Chains A and B, each alone.
Chain A
Amino acid sequence: MRIPAARIWVLSAIVLCAVAARRRLSYGVGEQLQLPATPLDRTSASGTREWAFLQECRRRIPPGVSLTVIAADPDQESALFMLALGVYPDHSVLPSSYFGTTAPSGSQAEYVLIYDGAKRPDGLEIVAQWADGAVGRRKR
């Protein structure tokens, strides 16, 4: 069967673009063209906060030291640990918990990144504190 394939293909391609554009423009052009502060700005509100927290801590921690992250929610604590492995490539990042199971190595870390409302461990000297959390250093 002979069909005007080229024209139907190319018109269909235009239709795909129109559908995608309609979806995209439904969010508002100005808002969408703002440069993001984190790689998660438009995909995960909780992820955005977690990433921004880790970046904020980076400025307060010397290179090469060991660190761990604690959070009130175990899932969040695991996610923060996984993200921290990438955000802190020059540090030894140790988990305080992993998929909800306590990890003993976290207690050996020199620096503790305390996310949001996490309970602070004893024996910490608070290096910095702001709305989203704090950075503590273990007293040796």
Chain B
Amino acid sequence: MTALKHLLFSASLVALPVLGFGAAFHRSVRSLTLPARLGASLALGCVSLTVTAVLLSTVGIPWSIPALSLPPLVTSSVLWRAWGREARSATRPLRPSGSVAVLATAAGGLSVLHLSVALITAAATSTDFLLFWGVKAVRFAGSRGIDAALPKWTYFTHAVPDYPPLVPVVTAWSVLWTGEFSWRLYPVTTALWALAAAPLVLELLRRRATDDQGAAITAFWLAAVSISLARSLSGGSAEAPLLFFETLAVAALLAEPDRESPSRFLPALMLAGAVLTKVEGSVAVLLVAAGALVRDQEAHGFPTAVRRTVALVSGAAAALATWFLFQATHGLPTGFRGHGDLWSLHRGFLPEILGGLLRNLDAGTLGLSWLVPLAFLLVSRARIRPLLPALTLSAGVLAFLVFDYLHDDRSPSQRIRWTAPRVSQPGLSALILAAGVATSRKREPAAG
């Protein structure tokens, strides 16, 4: 790649939050710090870009940078017009104590450096990135759309054609800017997802925690996920964006005040991103929504809790419908393929699966990334119900993995080794957030 192409590649990444700038003006977001608002804008930019790309391919309009940019920019402009006039309360400055600030910055910086070096030196490249995420991206960019002939092709089944399209679309977006694809450079974007999520995680935690606690928990979260992304060879794959969307959905739900009913815009946006990123995103939506429903029932009563849960999942349902519409109109099997018959389980493998799963929750830190928040959770003796949106995801992801591995009719050990370190990451992230809130002192936050 030439210097100009590198510049264009960087510009394509900067353009993503620009496409979704409208999100920064929502009342639950606009009082946050600029980096946190950029995180929300990145989420809306990626979701609206993906929906646009799928709809253009559904009706047969070829992709181009203007065609893909226009609908997201118009959407953001409308949102800005609608929300931008409302009064904006002042951003509360972050003031952690000196030692916590220094240590948190050091931990966050070192862990992101660790991940970045691993990505740059090809020590964390995902095989799935080389076998299908990147392949779909360059092929879609080359054909200026989602060419249905490719997912229909007999010799493309290894590329899981039914997987949702956000990662190939966002990657293809960069290819449209540069005209070529750098297989060595692109995995570096994995670190950007973790970096983009951190300020928003911090701001949401500060609604439940003191500045010291928020900074410390965010530092631990960033260190745990950065090290895990490197260790699980997630470079260039869909793991980092999935972690971004699911983490922020859970963080937004945990930050909600106990007795009020704030807008569900932010978590709903993040769950829409999750379902467009991986099949596991749809599982996460069910788990998080179930946790939120049970939690809200106590404070708001069942009818209100149901209404708020519908608001929570509406964006995800609409986003998924867009993808299924494309499948249906192009003669592709609609929906996601199952992994064998749903209840055809090989229970004899259960001890092997449980043992293998435990061994593969190392997360690059000898398992400390899991053990520390687990210990915090137990020692804090916090009420479980307020933490349910996170705990259902954390426990549910692991239970889902066990259920999935039970479908294998041969020893699942190798598949566990390949998949568990990366697919378990949203569970790890949610556990850290739950333990963080459980140990925080500021119990009743202001409405966001």
Q: Contact residues of A with B, CB < 8 Å? A: 1-3, 5-17, 19-21, 23-24, 32-36, 38-44, 47, 51, 78, 81-83, 85-87, 89-90, 94-95, 98-99, 103, 105
Say yes or no for B381: interface residue by CB 8 A criterion: yes
Considering residues B155, B158, B436, B439, which has the most beta carbons from chain A within 10 angstroms of its beta carbon? B155
Q: In the complex, given contacts A41-B122, A78-B158, what are 10 additional A-B residue pairs having Cβ atoms less than 8 angstroms apart? A: A9-B213, A9-B219, A10-B103, A15-B365, A19-B364, A43-B122, A43-B125, A47-B127, A83-B131, A86-B135
Chain A interface SS verdict (over half): helix
Q: Which 6 pairs, one residue from A and one from B, show the smallest C-beta to C-beta distance?
A: A13-B107, A36-B122, A9-B216, A10-B216, A6-B212, A86-B135
In Å, the complex CA distance between A60 and B54 comes to: 36
In Å, the complex CA distance between A78 and B96 comes to: 54
A93 to chain B minimum Cβ distance, whole angstroms, is: 9
A69 to chain B minimum Cβ distance, whole angstroms, is: 12
In Å, the complex CA distance between A89 and B380 comes to: 54
Q: Looking at the complex, which one of A19, A81, A86, A89 makes contact with B155 (CB distance below 8 Å)?
A: A81
Find out whether the CB atom of A40 lies under 8 angstroms from the CB atom of B122: yes
Please give, as numbers and ranges, the residues of chain A lying within 8 Å of B372 by CB-CB distance. 9, 12
Find out whether the CB atom of B142 lies under 8 angstroms from the CB atom of A90: yes
CB closest residue in chain A, given B102 = A10
In Å, the complex CA distance between A43 and B376 comes to: 35
Please give, as numbers and ranges, the residues of chain A lying within 8 Å of B155 by CB-CB distance. 81, 94-95, 98, 103, 105
Find out whether the CB atom of B131 lies under 8 angstroms from the CB atom of A6: no
A36 to chain B minimum Cβ distance, whole angstroms, is: 4
Find out whether the CB atom of B223 lies under 8 angstroms from the CB atom of A17: yes
Say yes or no for B336: interface residue by CB 8 A criterion: no
Which of B86-94, B110-118, B260-268 lies at the interface with chain A?
B110-118
Q: Looking at the complex, which one of A13, A82, A89 makes contact with B220 (CB distance below 8 Å)?
A: A13
In Å, the complex CA distance between A12 and B111 comes to: 13
Which of B4-12, B63-71, B180-188, B296-304 lies at the interface with chain A?
B180-188
Say yes or no for B121: interface residue by CB 8 A criterion: yes
Please give, as numbers and ranges, the residues of chain B lying within 8 Å of A105 by CB-CB distance. 155
Please give, as numbers and ranges, the residues of chain B lying within 8 Å of A44 by CB-CB distance. 127
Please give, as numbers and ranges, the residues of chain B lying within 8 Å of A95 by CB-CB distance. 155
A45 to chain B minimum Cβ distance, whole angstroms, is: 12
**Size of B's binding interface in residues, CB under 8 A:** 69
In Å, the complex CA distance between A41 and B120 comes to: 11
**Known: A9-B217, A10-B216, A13-B104. Is A39-B110 also a contact (CB below 8 A)?**
no
Find out whether the CB atom of A85 lies under 8 angstroms from the CB atom of B365: no
Please give, as numbers and ranges, the residues of chain B lying within 8 Å of A15 by CB-CB distance. 365, 368
Please give, as numbers and ranges, the residues of chain B lying within 8 Å of A3 by CB-CB distance. 379-380, 439
Please give, as numbers and ranges, the residues of chain A lying within 8 Å of B227 by CB-CB distance. 16-17, 19-20
Please give, as numbers and ranges, the residues of chain A lying within 8 Å of B138 by CB-CB distance. 86, 89
**Known: A19-B366, A20-B111. Is A39-B103 also a contact (CB below 8 A)?**
no
Jot down 27 A-B pairs with beta carbons below 8 A, ordered by A.
Answer: A3-B380, A3-B439, A5-B216, A6-B100, A6-B212, A6-B215, A6-B217, A7-B100, A8-B376, A10-B216, A13-B103, A13-B107, A13-B216, A14-B103, A15-B368, A17-B106, A17-B110, A36-B122, A38-B122, A39-B122, A39-B184, A42-B125, A43-B123, A43-B127, A86-B134, A86-B138, A89-B181
A41 to chain B minimum Cβ distance, whole angstroms, is: 4
In Å, the complex CA distance between A48 and B37 comes to: 40
Considering residues B134, B213, B220, B231, which has the most beta carbons from chain A within 10 angstroms of its beta carbon? B220
CB closest residue in chain B, given A29 = B117
In Å, the complex CA distance between A19 and B111 comes to: 11
A46 to chain B minimum Cβ distance, whole angstroms, is: 12
Please give, as numbers and ranges, the residues of chain B lying within 8 Å of A32 by CB-CB distance. 117, 121, 123
Say yes or no for B152: interface residue by CB 8 A criterion: no
Say yes or no for B57: interface residue by CB 8 A criterion: no
Say yes or no for B130: interface residue by CB 8 A criterion: yes
Find out whether the CB atom of A6 lies under 8 angstroms from the CB atom of B213: yes
Please give, as numbers and ranges, the residues of chain A lying within 8 Å of B141 by CB-CB distance. 89
In Å, the complex CA distance between A89 and B182 comes to: 12
Please give, as numbers and ranges, the residues of chain A lying within 8 Å of B77 by CB-CB distance. none
Chain B stretch 58-102: residues in CB contact (< 8 A) with chain A: 96, 99-100
In Å, the complex CA distance between A9 and B376 comes to: 9
